[in-house]
Homo-oligomer: A and B are copies of this chain.
């Protein structure tokens, strides 16, 4: 890829490559690395190409990422599982206690997160930003396979998956989970929680609020530990950054269509670090397809999309470089 781009006679820009291999674990060292290598990485613009296209004919430019914070909550009752006949009625059940604690996190009707202060720092978004946004309920139903969609009351799907914060249980386990039944009162119960954050929520603060809430609602009959697993900040980018405008033109020329501008629901903790540490605008493009099975068995990238990506990148850099010369 680098050779293909560097070999292009019409790319009058210098290119520095930064390979970030920890994205899937929330890039815990990205900020530290960027600060240490700030001088070597100094640049006018950053291009990230890890997004999908909406389909083969419809490119996408992402101008926002949600932040994230992950936590693990463990409820411990007794040193070991107890016989539910002998001891049923004697002690609190850690699985049931955890269920009550989790239930306290979200209102079942409005799907609003009930952690005090959770929404305090959430920035309002102009609904006009979502005019023409293609993510409607029909798209959501088709993509998720759900019987019905659900989410924070008062916000349409396109906003719920991009500019509104969320709280999910990513996993939970307690007691006996094999076939049939085993009559135990589990010794402990664990849940993994993940929040998606939006400007101007801060992962550390949301974690503290979440932890404090969980500890506050837990009964004194159990020991509760809340551990922070990972986190990253949200970011929103300038849709008129010079490199972004160059990418738009490249998409028009190479794919034959203007890109759809979207704020993404996922998290890419390196993005806010790049913006802050390098002080350069970030442009997020990509050439994957919705059929690539990302994060799933048989994940792949079609060879023709790779070639499309090389061609788009060459044109993007050419346009960006030419405009820079004209300035």
- A positions within 8 Å CB-CB of B: 25, 66, 68, 70, 72, 77-80, 82-93, 95-96, 98-100, 102-106, 108, 111, 140, 143-152, 155, 157, 160-162, 164, 166, 168-177, 180-186, 189-192, 194, 196, 219-223, 229-230, 264-267, 294-296
Q: A144 to B106: give the CA distance in the assembly, Å.
A: 32
B-side contacts of A221, CB under 8 Å: 146-150
Apart from A89-B152, A181-B230, 10 more pairs, CB < 8 Å: A79-B145, A86-B161, A88-B196, A90-B144, A91-B140, A96-B103, A100-B108, A170-B186, A171-B176, A177-B190
- A183-B194 contact, Cβ under 8 Å, with A78-B144, A85-B68, A168-B84: yes
How many monomers of this chain does the complex have?
A: 2
Q: Judging by beta carbons under 8 Å apart, are A194 and B181 in contact?
A: yes
B-side contacts of A296, CB under 8 Å: 80
B-side contacts of A162, CB under 8 Å: 89
Q: A149 to B219: give the CA distance in the assembly, Å.
A: 11
Chain B nearest CB: distance from A319 CB in Å? Answer: 30
Q: A69 to B169: give the CA distance in the assembly, Å.
A: 28
- A168-B96 contact, Cβ under 8 Å, with A85-B267, A265-B85: yes
Q: A90 to B104: give the CA distance in the assembly, Å.
A: 20
Q: Judging by beta carbons under 8 Å apart, are B169 and A91 in contact?
A: no
Cross-chain contact of A182 among B140, B145, B171 (Cβ < 8 A): B171
- A175-B192 contact, Cβ under 8 Å, with A89-B166, A151-B90: yes
B-side contacts of A95, CB under 8 Å: 102, 169-172, 191
Q: Judging by beta carbons under 8 Å apart, are B146 and A78 in contact?
A: yes
Q: A222 to B177: give the CA distance in the assembly, Å.
A: 21
Which interface residue of A72, A161, A169, A294 has the most chain B CB atoms within 10 A?
A169
B-side contacts of A183, CB under 8 Å: 68, 70, 170, 194, 267
B-side contacts of A77, CB under 8 Å: 146-147
Closest to A217 in B: B108
Q: A291 to B85: give the CA distance in the assembly, Å.
A: 17
Interchain Cβ contacts under 8 Å between A and B, 30 examples: A66-B88, A72-B181, A78-B145, A80-B145, A85-B264, A85-B265, A86-B266, A88-B194, A89-B164, A89-B265, A90-B140, A90-B160, A91-B144, A92-B150, A95-B102, A95-B172, A96-B102, A96-B168, A96-B169, A99-B102, A99-B103, A102-B103, A147-B221, A147-B223, A150-B219, A169-B175, A170-B176, A170-B185, A171-B186, A173-B174
Question: 8 closest A-B pairs (Cβ-Cβ)?
Answer: A85-B266, A89-B160, A171-B175, A95-B169, A99-B102, A103-B103, A171-B176, A88-B166
